[in-house]
């Protein structure tokens, strides 16, 4: 993990240490990591923990890693949007992913640093520069949005929070977060069905869950504990799929052709041994959700373009990853993945 001594990094180190599939846990930060590594190393689980600090130890931290989690960077303060973080975090992610490209080019990357809508395209451009970009292995972590949706929907309906699931698509900032409440599973019984008012309230609360925490912390940071839980759940899924477990699905912000003009999109995916194995269609949406999708497109596009421009100096994404069947086959061959594709239908530029 890169950024292991931070607000997210510390509780996430503790949770990762307890994951049964972690054999070696390398914790890297520019400061204060030795204490975190010593502390979590005392937890009795098989993972062998080592701390690394400073630029000179970054390569050694990454060498041999199969999965890299990146929560390095500054968090939001009250009044800041995720895009306000861009100037600082863009450079941090660029430099850390450059090191990944050199020292563990085939690792699966979990990008947590915000704004995820831009930091994932930044990572993609850096990996392309080094000739090691494999779209299947680059995942932006939006699982906290899914966790919030599960929690808030279970509070509103009485469903078991461990059983309920809500796909959350789009991006990972404000209106770009689009919970598909109409696709909640298990299907809501008549008396549990959400009114339009409840749907609008829940959508707004899921989109602004991060701000709720930033404001409650009054300047002391953003979501760290729930984020650590989300990142640990997500990493656990990645590791399970990498170990050969079947039917592992997540929502993640990945290279996709789900929506025309958006080279990256948060969408339900099936994971495999080398990352994303299949991208599912968005599925049927309510009129409210279709409207939400139309509204998020310009903002998400501009965040993607901003990330791309940060690395390339050019406006926009000039190579559509997974854009057509041939590119998908090439990407699949390169990554050993056998079924990377979006849905079959294409309605007004949206793979439903
Ligand atoms: P924090 O300031 O508490 O910790 C960040 C850590 O990153 C610090 O320990 C810092 O030393 C380290 N760091 C800075 N530059 C580094 C570099 N070049 N190499 C390695 N480490 C470096 O912040 P936090 O609350 O842990 O949040 C971290 C990031 O996660 C922020 O960008 C935040 O916005 C983001 N975040 C994402 C989500 C999500 O859902 N994806 C949710 C919450 C927060």
What pLDDT, on the 0 to 100 scale, is given for residue 77?
A: 78
Q: Of the listed 172, 201, 204, 323, which one is catalytic?
A: 172
263 contacts 317 by C-beta, under 8 angstroms: yes
pLDDT of residue 317: 62
Q: Is 201 designated active site? A: no
Residue 31 near ligand 1, beta carbon < 6 Å = yes
Q: What is the per-residue pLDDT across 281-297, written as a single tens digit (0 to 9) for each? A: 999 999 999 999 999 99
Nearest atom in ligand 1 to the alpha carbon of residue 31 is 11
pLDDT tens for 2-14 read 999 999 999 999 9
Per residue in 240-285, pLDDT tens?
A: 999 999 999 999 999 999 999 999 999 999 999 999 999 999 999 9
| Residue 68 alpha carbon to ligand 1 centre in Å | 14
**What is the token pair recorded at 249?**
């699905």
Predicted local confidence at residue 326, as pLDDT: 42
81-91 burial code (b ≥16 CB/10 A, e <16): ebbebbeebbe
Dig out the tokens for 146 from the structure: 């899914």
pLDDT for position 341 = 34
CA distances from 19 to 80, 139, 173, 231, 246 (A): 34, 20, 29, 12, 18
E strand or H helix at 64: none
Q: Report the pLDDT value the prediction gives residue 329, as an integer from 0 to 100.
A: 44
Query: Ligand 1, atom 9: nearest CA belongs to which residue?
Result: 6
What count of residues does the chain have? Answer: 352
The ranges of the chain with pLDDT < 50 are 320-347
* Domains assigned to the chain: 9-141+314-334 (3.40.50.720), 143-302 (3.90.110.10)
Phi, psi of 27 (to 5 degrees): -110, 120
Residue among 2, 6, 173 whose CB has most ligand 1 atoms within 8 A, to mutate: 6
Would the pTM count as exceeding 0.95? Answer: no
Backbone angles phi, psi at 350, to 5 degrees: -115, 125
Residue 193 sits at φ, ψ, to 5 deg, of -60, 140
In DSSP terms, 278 is beta-bridged to 270
For 131-188, the three-class secondary structure string (H helix, E strand, C coil) is CCCCHHHEEECCHHHHHHHHHHHHHHHCCCCCCCECCEEECCCHHHEEECHHHCECCC
Distance CA 118, CA 126 (A): 12
Quickly count: other Cβ atoms within 10 Å of residue 160's Cβ. Answer: 10
Helix (H) or strand (E) holding 214, with range, is: helix 209-216
Ligand 1 contact, 7 CB (< 6 A): yes
97 lines ligand 1 (CB under 6 A): no
Task: Please work out whether the CB of residue 100 comes within 6 Å of at least one atom of ligand 1.
Answer: no
- For ligand 1, whether the C-beta of 144 sits within 6 Å is yes
pLDDT number for residue 191: 82
């Amino acid at each position: 993990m890169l950024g292991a001594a931070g607000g997210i990094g510390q509780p996430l180190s503790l949770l990762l240490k307890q994951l049964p599939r972690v054999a070696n846990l390398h914790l890297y930060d520019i400061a204060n990591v030795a204490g975190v590594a010593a502390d979590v190393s005392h937890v009795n689980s098989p993972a062998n923990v080592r701390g690394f600090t400073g630029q000179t130890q970054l390569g050694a931290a990454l060498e041999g890693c199969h999965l890299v989690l990146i929560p390095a960077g500054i968090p939001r303060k009250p009044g800041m949007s995720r895009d306000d973080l861009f100037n600082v975090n863009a450079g941090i992610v660029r430099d850390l992913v450059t090191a990944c490209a050199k020292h563990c080019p085939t690792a699966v990357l979990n990008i947590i640093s915000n704004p995820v809508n831009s930091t994932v395209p930044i990572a993609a451009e850096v990996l392309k520069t080094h000739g090691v970009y494999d779209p299947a292995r680059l995942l932006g972590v939006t699982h906290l949005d899914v966790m919030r949706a599960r929690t808030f929907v279970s509070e509103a309906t009485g469903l078991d929070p461990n059983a309920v699931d809500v796909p959350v698509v789009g991006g990972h900032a404000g209106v770009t977060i689009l919970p598909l409440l109409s696709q909640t599973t298990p299907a809501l019984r008549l008396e549990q069905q959400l009114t339009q008012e409840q749907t609008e309230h829940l959508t707004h609360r899921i989109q602004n869950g991060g701000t709720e925490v930033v404001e409650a912390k009054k300047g002391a940071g953003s979501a760290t504990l729930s984020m650590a839980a989300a990142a640990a759940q997500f990493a656990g899924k990645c590791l399970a799929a990498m170990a050969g477990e079947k039917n592992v699905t997540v929502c993640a912000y990945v290279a996709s052709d789900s929506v025309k003009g958006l080279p990256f999109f948060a969408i339900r995916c099936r994971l495999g041994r080398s990352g994303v194995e299949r991208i599912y269609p968005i599925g049927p949406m309510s009129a409210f959700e279709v409207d939400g999708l139309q509204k998020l497109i310009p903002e998400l596009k501009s965040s993607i373009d901003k990330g791309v421009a940060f690395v390339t100096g050019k406006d926009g994404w000039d190579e559509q990853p997974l854009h057509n069947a041939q590119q998908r086959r090439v990407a699949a061959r390169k990554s050993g993945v056998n079924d990377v594709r979006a849905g079959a239908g294409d309605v007004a530029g949206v793979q439903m």
